[in-house]
Structures are given as structure tokens and as C-alpha cells.
Structure 1
């Protein structure tokens, strides 16, 4: 089957037109020769079967050789489509490209692909997309990323080979590549209407964005769920290594089928040799693993979802991508939840399925349902309490400097504990200090942190965007780290995203979303929010290697005793501090619960007060900050 991936030279045909039967619409129904989708109440209806749907497994030659064996890798994918496509129905595609279908598997219930009878076709399809959307006139493709499951080659953890895997199928759907079945026969997508979507959580979400930023024709929309957008930011933060050594190679191993891990060892060795773990700086290694800078190539619209308390794929991944989408006027919507690394199907199921349904109907079937006229952003303010906004950051946000003050005597601001009048405040870096030690007991003096507190707020204070810490610091060593934590001190019931389940509890009861076959049902375990009353909430945090103060590409050692200016972002947030609560800013050196390698210099650090501050993205700006008592 090698060599089957030559591009077709024929000119692209015009996109086919799908007939739409509108139930209850004006005028008589037209008698169409071919079957058509049915739209009622503004959405496509489940008028096609699921148990009798056409199922295929296809293979396509890629344009790359990830394992460097001299042969192009083969990408495998499974297709399910309405049987009516055999009679002329033209349908769009919803694709979930993933490295996980035979290893970690997908969804809250860990569903794997399964060929139960050994005929080379799937009987069990992970997730609900097939059960729900195939009866409504969609095809679903589950694609095995290079080096995983039925695809050949070796995973490269978001390098070009991973990133281009799904593009091969998009090209095939649009007549620009050849796919074959297991018998070696060429198969065409003559049932396709020319429009495709990609969707997926985490790694799958990154593959959706990676495909979109190639600008491939025929990819109409993407729905990335909690996916990395800058792989440097997944394992680094401003020069600090935040995950273990050789993590990129480690993840490549985790998604490789166990029987192929020894074979792919040379590929992982090459990755580990190039990742720059010895310094943590940004190098060319990360360029192909960056999607933000490639957003100008995009033509696909985006429905983006992220948990504001996701400590796996942290929120700076969504924010940087979102800012780039806005700069390039890409059609877009955004959901931000209070949970951690959780799929919206498990945090707001009914509303998510409805939104996804209308989104795909609009972008893939051309159903005029008004979804793009609705507010652009949904934000979960508290457990299951959602609000909508015209955009994000919330309009009216203004970056507002709040100074880190030495002591009492002035109104507002954030005051050092204990209140005093020094020009500088000193502490020692402690690479073993726990996060709880950093943020608890803010009124107590501790040798390894500085705590700055506001007075109890007199009005709500809403931040929306990316806070920035600006410090002037002197160290007595040539290297150190700097960390900052923004804290809400005040009792409230909150989503408990730090407990098991990252903010949700999985129940024993089920509900069903879509049709079923004898081997695959559309029923999934329900969830509820995990909440707890707490006195402290870590709102957001940031970290920087002091040697990377000028650039993440170049480390410059410190001159002991010399003061330097530092400016680094915290993770983005959308948060409302309640009246009566106190805002805290904690300054530390190493931050071991944020980084895998705490700096061992144990430097003594002096922070210049009055000139150091935190820039908060306050909705309402300075006036709102002053009204709250800052």
C-alpha cells in the first residue's frame, strides 16, 4: 500500500449542493431525486439510521516519514456515514483526529475503538459524535494520528508529522489525495459535500488547531477543547521547565502502542536530544509546535472551550490563540468554565450538545439558525451559573496598575505584611516550599515569601484578561526564579477543581445522546459539579526564570547585587472578587508546584517597593478599582 498518496492532478470540482427539506416552512415541499436532510425547529433532525450506517476503514499515504525508514507513513481512519449517502445524499464530515484510540482512549469513560468481530471495521466508536450526528446527516471520521493504533510511523508530539496527519484526510475528502481500503482498492468521497469540521479535547484539540493553521481548503470549522496551542508553554513557562525532563519524548511513548514502543525508541531519542531541557529556552524545536503565529493562515471558524482552572493545559493556551483569532478577524465563539481539564460534555452537557449541533448545522449544512448573532462568549461564574458577554476579555476591561506598597498610611493598593515603611522587602528563595505554605496565613510573616494584601473590598472587582507582574528585584546569585500568585481571601462556595475529577463527580446514572446499534449505544454517565466552601481561592499565578528576563530565547546571568526589572504574565482569568474579600499577591522565588525543576540557588532577594506592581485587567478600569477600595 506504499506510494498510494500521490496528489490527484484533476482540477477541483464545484462543491455539491445539498437539498434541505424544511418541515413547517413556507411553500410546498419539493420532490428531490436524492435524499436530503430535514430541518425542523432550526436544527437538523435524526431522520437517517445509525445501526445501518456505512462503516469503512481507509488508508492514505502521508507526505512524511516520521520513523525515517525511507517510506512514507500511512494514516488510517474510520468513517461512518448515513446509508442514504449510497443514494446520493451529500454530507459534511466531523473528524476527531487522536493519538489515543488504542492507548488512553477517549471521554470520561475511557472508550477505545473496537473491532469486535475482526472484520476490519469498528463496532464500537468512542464518544457521542457518531451516535448523535450521523442520524442528522453527517459523516464522522475518527483518525489515528501518525504512529498510533492502525497508522504507521512514530508519534512526534505535535511536530509536523503529528500536525499534518489529519490534513491527509481533508485532502482526500476534497479530491486532492487517494485513499484505499484494506484490499488496496481506491475509494473516493463522492458522498462529501465539501465541508468538514474537526473537534477534540486535549491532544485531539491541538491536532484540530494544527490542521486549521495550515489553511487547508475544505476545513470549514474547528472545535478545540482544552488543547495546547504553544507546546513550549505546555512544558515551559518563561524559561522555567514546568514538566519533567524529556517530557515531549515521554508523551510520544505514552501514545504509542506498547508493541511498537521499542521500534520508536530512536524517534524519541531524537526528540529528547533536541528539546533543550538543559536550559529551558525557546529554540527552533518549538516553532513547528506553535500554532498561534500561524493563525493568519486560517480560514476555518472556531468554537473554543477551556477550563479556567485547567492545570494540565493551562489557560494561557486558549488566551494566546483567542487573541490571535481576534487580531485576524476569524469567526469565533468561546466557552470558559470553572472546571479543570474537563470536556464540556461532562460539565454542561445539554447546552453544549445543543450549541455544538447548531454550530455544525450553521457552518457545515448552511442552516440559518442565528448562532453567530448571539453573544460571543459564555463564562461560568460559579457552579452551573453561566453568563454571556459580547467578547473576551469582557468589554470595558482596562489594564490597571495596583502598586505593592510598603505599609499603612495610604488608601487603597496592596500593602506588605507586616505594614512598615522600608524601601525594599527581602526574602529567601526556598525550592521546597509548598504552595499551601505560600498562600495560607497571609497575615503571618514568613522568610520565603512576601505577602501583599488589600483591605476588605467595598465593591465587586471583576478582572478579565491576563494580569502582568512588574517587579524590580536584586539577587545575590547569578540565577533564580520568580513566582507570583494572585489570591482571593474570603469565604465562598466554589467549584472544587483541585479534588479528584477536576471539578466534577461522575455518577452511576446515564443519559443518552443519539441513536444506538447492537454494539454501540449513545448513553453516557452523568456528572455533577463538585463544590466546597473554602476561605481561600488561588485565582491565578505566574513564573519566570530570572535569566530569561529579556527573552525566552536567550538566558543572561544576573550580576549579584544589581537590580533588574522583571515583567511576566500570569495565567489569564475571568474572576470576580466579592465585597468583603481581600485580594492578595504573594511573591516567591521557586514555585515547585508550578515547575518541575526548582532553582537551587536559594538566592536572597530584595524587591523594590513602590515601583513594583501588578497590572490587573479590571472591567471598568481605575474607576472600578477605586470603587472597590484598591
Structure 2
């Protein structure tokens, strides 16, 4: 191209004059997106799309080698962008593209011919959205795949990785190709969205809370929002020792793991496993505290039975989004840690399409005027609500009594005791609730006479004394009654992967748009663990500063259970189980083996009941 312009510069004057005298060429209009039925249509090619791999110098040095880390990302965009089409970006930033890979089909990035460009693009976003007038970026988080540096497990270096590409799209950063040539995003329309599941979802939220210009919407799926809560719960360590270091090792390419060991050693030295308290280490890894910076809309998706990224990650973030009146949408499913592409595929693709069209292409399709919340009530049975918690929800005190659960407290002097156990299983805790057992206290309602809907975060308020300076306290909310339920504790976390496929988008010679289909796993069961919670008694006043117990002295222990949206059916009984250590919920069991005495008059659970006390009375509580 450079030689062409040099040649023009030495054309003879007569030829130049002749060129100037020629009739002007007919101006060609720039291509545009096509909208039918309220959505963008697949009028652009996929096989001939422009593919690039670009590199940006970051603003940080995660491996402390004296050089700024380089963030690599792959871009695919319609070929029509060469002719003036302006398109938005959908980005999935991830640490997994060369290690655990993405999606239920386990797709990795792949350069099959060694030309430095992707031939296989994980997930369906590229196949589906590029033909509809979008660019798709798959970004390698710092220290992973083609990016340099070392992963820091949701510290600032991880969190700022995708911001580098957003800044480049907005003309505020320089990107180069493999040859070192600067590349600009002159094809970009100024709007970008981010999407991703799990770690990818956390990176979307991490980018949003920076308030970076140009990020218009984020769609986090089952992503951690408060990394303390991913590895802790109210002072109790809920995952194995040095988990941030462990995860950083998992996402690092094998050939770089030895090189990155000093970074992982620093993570392990500062994570505070020895006490489980909240420290500056965790404050750096909090997105909930930074929601006020968000200028993008947010579409959250989460499994109510996700035991990996537990549901308090969506709820704490959602409550803050509401406080700051951020435009928002929410899907809650009965599955565990599962992508909506695998639990509600057709509806998900259609909804995500309309959401991106509205926020990135400005298509007036009415999606923001529809009910804000979709909740899966039973397998593939969905209902919509104006908001979450469901409007009309009221925190309602349900008291622990010797004769079960009730709406009035027990008498003054009633106490009950149990012994903490490090080996008691979850099944032992919740089964046979009418049998007295030495390592738990169980309280049952009468059979319900009407449905009872809880929506939100229940809080356990127990007044108790222990005979040791420390103990753990746990609580479980249980539904006792036979019903068909999503079997989220089986392999697949509520879904069964089939051998058949369906296709979503267009193919190239090396990348098809077909994925294995799924169906819900269901079973008939007599008991359902609805939600649970745990706390370290020494953190009863503060997560930052432990305060030992005085043996025999009574204290108030207030702690939340994981959020839920659940309907107890008529004929079923509500159960509340109080325990000490909870091995199936935490990796850290208390070592003191305390005997715990509960004063029932002051002990209750505050249930977020739709309709409040009136609904509780109507249901026979």
C-alpha cells in the first residue's frame, strides 16, 4: 500500500490532469445492519470475517520483572467493516482459553495452521453475533495463554486486564499486531459489552466497576463478586488452604507455572487461612464495594443451587445495583454452576440477542420494559417478576420452640444444647428431623395449609453460650415433603448432556456453531436442602477483628443464609436445623468441640416471606 502512494506522487502532470478531469466515481454507501422482527439479522459473513490477534502494553507488572505486562486478545469482525460498517464489541475475557477451556463442550482457542490467528473460537458468540453486525473479542487474562505476567486470582492485575482492550477500542490505548504495527479500532461504534461465566463473569464485573468509558453493558453468569465470600463465609474458611494460589496455578499455562511460583507464594502468604478474617487482601478482590462506579447496564444470571459460586455473590451485587438504580435484569435457575446456554438455550440466545441489540446497537425492542426477573420454579417452569426479592416480601420472625417453629417465641427459661461434631454429615444433619440427635437441634413447622413463598436472604438470630472460647455455628433451612425436583447435586449440577447437537450461528471450515444439547435432571425426593449458612463465633461483631467467647456467657449470633427464592408447598413442613461445624460447607471445622446451649426465647429465623406475617398465618405457621 505504501508503494502505491509513492508511485502516485511521481505521476506525470498530464496524467494527473486527466485523472482530475475524469467524471467522479459514484460514492458507495457504507453497509449497515439489517433489523427485522425487532432484532439484527445475519446478513454478514462468518467464514470471510476479519480475524486479528492484538497485543496491548498494560499499566501493571504482575510478575515484577520490571516490564509492563502485555495483554493479548483475538478479534473477529464482519468483513463489511473494511467498507465502513461500524460495529459494537461483545467481549469474553477469560483465564481459561488454553487450560480448562470454555463451555459444556470444553472448547479451547486453537490456531490450527500456525499463522498466529484463531481458527477455532470457543462458545457460540462469534458464530451467532458476527453475522448480525458485531465484533467479538476473546481476551486472555494477564498471565494466561498469549498474555504475559502471572495470574493474581482477582487482584487488580486480573481485574484491569480487560479494561486495556476497552481503552483501545475508545482510542485511549495502543494495540499492535504480531509484527509490531499499530492497529486502530476505526470500525468500532463506541459501544462494548462483556459476557462470561464464572471467572469470566467476575472479570466482566471487575471491568464494569472501574467505570471505564465505552463499556455499555455486562452479562455476568455465575461470577464471584466478593472473593472473600468465594473462599470464606462469615469468618469460616469454606475452601481448602491457599485456594487463590491453587486457582492461579490452574489457569497458568503449564510451561509458565514454575516461573509464576513466586507470585503464587505471595498469594498463599497473604490470604489469611490461619484465621479466616477479612483483610486488605480480600478488599482488593471486592466488586460489591465498587458498584457505585458502574455506568453500564447489568444482566445477572445465577444458579440458586450453585455450590461453587454460591448465590450470595449475585444477591449482594444485585442489592447494590438496586441501591444505585443501575439498569439491570436477572435470571435465577434451579441448577447449580451451569451456563444458561445449557439450561434454557433457545430463550437464552433470543434474550441475550435482544439485550445486546438494545444496549449496543440501539434497537428499540422493548426488552427493558419487560419484567426484570425470570425465576425457574421447577424444572423448565419459569415465571417472571417485577423485581427481586419479589415485591411484597417482608422479613418475618419465625421462632425456634420446643414444639417446633412458630410465630411466637418460647417461654423465658427454655434452653436446648448440642455438641459440635467435626464428622457429622449433611445428611445426618437434615434427615430424621423428629429424632433427637446429640450434634444438632432440629425445629419443624406443622404441615403447611397453603403455599409459602420466601424470596431473598433469610437471617438466623440465635442467642447461645458455648463452653469454649470459640466455635462455629451453622444453620440449614429444609423442605420436608415429597416432590419432583431438579437433581442439582447429581453429576452435571442439574443437567444431563446429550449426544445430539443443535446449531446457533454460522460455520467456517474450522469452526462450527453446533453444541451438544442438554436436558434437566429431575428426581422425586422427600427432602430438599433449601439454603444454609455458617459463621465463626469469634467474628460475631466483625469480620476483620475476632473476639473470643467467654465460656458460659450468652451472646447474640446473627448471620445470613444463602439467598433463595423458594415456594414451600401445602402439606410440606419447614425445618430449621442448628449445628456447629459443617464439613460439607466449609474446609475449616472448629477444633474446640464446644457444647452449645441455645436460649430459645431469643432465637429465631427471619424469613423473607412474600406477604409477610399474613401469608405465614395463612400457611399455618
Same fold, TM-score > 0.5, yes or no:
yes
User: Could you tell me which residue of structure 2 aligns to residue 619 of structure 1?
Assistant: 610
Question: Among 22, 38, 46, which residue is 1:50 paired with?
Answer: 46
In the alignment, what sits opposite 1:3?
Answer: none
Structure 1 residue 415: Cα displacement: 10
Counterpart position of 1:609: 600
Structure 2 counterpart SS, 1:37: coil
SS of aligned partner of 2:228:
helix
Deviation digits for residues 182-212 of structure 1, max 9, x if unmatched?
0000000000000000000000000000000
The structural deviation recorded for 1:610 is: 1.9
Partner of 2:457: 466
Inter-partner Cα distance in structure 1 for 2:349 and 2:491: 25
Q: Is the 8 A contact 1:228 1:234 kept in 2?
A: yes
Residue 62 (structure 1) aligned to one of 58, 63, 66: 58
Structure 2 Cα separation of the partners of residues 346 and 276 of structure 1: 36
- The aligned residue for residue 110 of structure 2 is 114
Structure 2 Cα separation of the partners of residues 323 and 217 of structure 1: 24
Select 1:443's aligned residue among 434, 444, 459. 434
Match of 1:531 among 514, 522, 527: 522
CA distance in 1, matches of 2:130, 2:224: 28
**How far apart in 2 are the matches of 1:610 and 1:617?**
21
Q: Contact conserved, 1:412 with 1:626, CA < 8 A, in 2?
A: no
Equivalent residues in 2 for 1:402-481 (5 A)? 402-407=398-403, 412-413=406-407, 423-481=414-472
Match status 1:212 vs 2:208: yes
CA contact (8 A) 2:478 2:575 kept: yes
Structure 1: how far apart are the matches of 2:133 and 2:403? 66
5 Å-filtered alignment, 1:543-562, equals: 543-562=534-553
Out of 250, 267, 275, the position equivalent to 1:254 is 250
> SS where residue 200 of structure 2 aligns?
helix
Post-superposition Cα deviations, 1:258-303, rounded to whole Å, max 9, x if no partner, equal: 0000000000011111111111000001111000110000000011
In the alignment, which residue of structure 2 is the partner of 1:196? 192
CA offset at residue 216 of structure 1? Answer: 0.1
* CA distance in structure 2 between the partners assigned to 1:304 and 1:278 by the alignment: 33
1:348 paired with 2:339, answer no
TM-score norm. by structure 1 comes to 0.93
Q: Does 1:517 align with 2:513?
A: no
Distance (whole Å) between structure 1 residues aligned to residue 605 and residue 325 of structure 2: 30
TM-score in terms of structure 2 length: 0.95
Out of 276, 279, 288, the position equivalent to 1:280 is: 276
1:103 is paired with a residue whose SS is coil
Q: What is the 5 A alignment of 1:242-321?
A: 242-321=238-317
Q: Which runs of 5+ in 1 are unaligned?
A: 1-30
Q: Provide, for residues 137-166 of structure 1, a one-character-per-residue CA deviation record: whole Å limited to 9, x for no partner.
A: 000000000000000000000000000000
Secondary structure of residue in 2 paired with 1:575: strand
- CA distance in 2 between counterparts of 1:588 and 1:295 reads 34
| SS, match of residue 289 in structure 1 | coil
The reply to whether residue 399 of structure 1 matches residue 395 of structure 2 is yes
Aligned to 1:589: 580
Whether the aligned pair in 2 keeps the contact of 1:405 and 1:413 (CA below 8 Å) is: no
Can you list the C-alpha shifts for 1:578-623, whole angstroms capped at 9, x where unaligned?
Answer: 0000000000000000000111211001000121000000000000
Q: Secondary structure at the match of 2:449?
A: coil
CA distance in 2, matches of 1:197, 1:291: 18
Q: Output the CA distance in 1 between the equivalents of 2:52 and 2:224.
A: 30
Alpha carbons 2:412, 2:601 under 8 Å: kept: no
- Tell me which residue corresponds to 2:3: none
SS at match of 2:383: strand
Q: C-alpha distance in 2, partners of 1:322/1:292?
A: 9
- Equivalent residue for 2:327, pick from 310, 331, 336: 331
Please state if 1:503 is matched with 2:494. Answer: yes
User: How do 1:6-85 and structure 2 match up within 5 A?
Assistant: 33-85=29-81
Aligned residue in 2 for 1:150? 146
Shift >2 Å, 4+ stretches:
411-416
Cα deviation for residue 421 of structure 1 reads: 9.9
Of the three residues 590, 594, 608, the one matched with 1:599 is 590
Cα offset, 1:406, TM superposition: 2.0
In the alignment, which residue of structure 1 is the partner of 2:92?
96
SS at match of 2:34: strand
Pick from 481, 487, 493 the counterpart of residue 484 of structure 2: 493
Superposition deviation, residue 407 in structure 1: 2.6
Q: Are the aligned partners of 2:413 and 2:601 in contact in 1 as well (CA < 8 Å)? A: no
Residue in 2 that maps onto 1:569: 560
* Matches of 2:471 and 2:339, distance apart in 1: 37
Q: Following the alignment from structure 1 to structure 2, what is the Cα–Cα distance between the partners of residues 272 and 203?
A: 19
Count of residues paired in the alignment: 595
CA distance, structure 2, for counterparts of residue 551 and residue 415 of structure 1: 28
Whole-Å separation in 2 of the counterparts to 1:259 and 1:59: 20
Distance 1:288 1:39 in 2: 43
* In 1, Cα distance between equivalents of 2:173 and 2:465: 59
Q: Deviations for 1:14-59, whole angstroms, at most 9, x for unmatched residues?
A: xxxxxxxxxxxxxxxxx97100000000000000000000000000
Please report how far the alpha carbon of residue 248 of structure 1 lies from its aligned counterpart in structure 2 after TM superposition: 0.6
What is the CA–CA distance in structure 1 between the aligned matches of 2:522 and 2:591, rounded to whole Å? 37
Distance verdict in 2 for CA 1:183–1:619, change over 3 Å:
same
Structure 1 residue 423: deviation in Å?
Answer: 1.1
Alignment RMSD: 1.2
CA distance in 1 between counterparts of 2:485 and 2:296 reads 36
SS in 2 for 1:501: coil
Are the equivalent residues in 2 in contact too, given 1:57–1:120 (CA < 8 A)?
yes
Report the Cα distance in structure 1 between the residues aligned to 2:370 and 2:463, rounded to whole angstroms. Answer: 44
1:412 Cα shift? 3.8
User: How far off its partner does 1:368 sit?
Assistant: 0.3
Rounded Cα–Cα distance in structure 2 between residues aligned with 1:350 and 1:391 = 23
Equivalent pair of 2:127/2:504 in contact (CA under 8 Å): yes
The answer on whether the counterparts of 2:466 and 2:596 sit within 8 Å (CA) in structure 1 is: yes
Deviation, structure 1 residue 538: 0.1
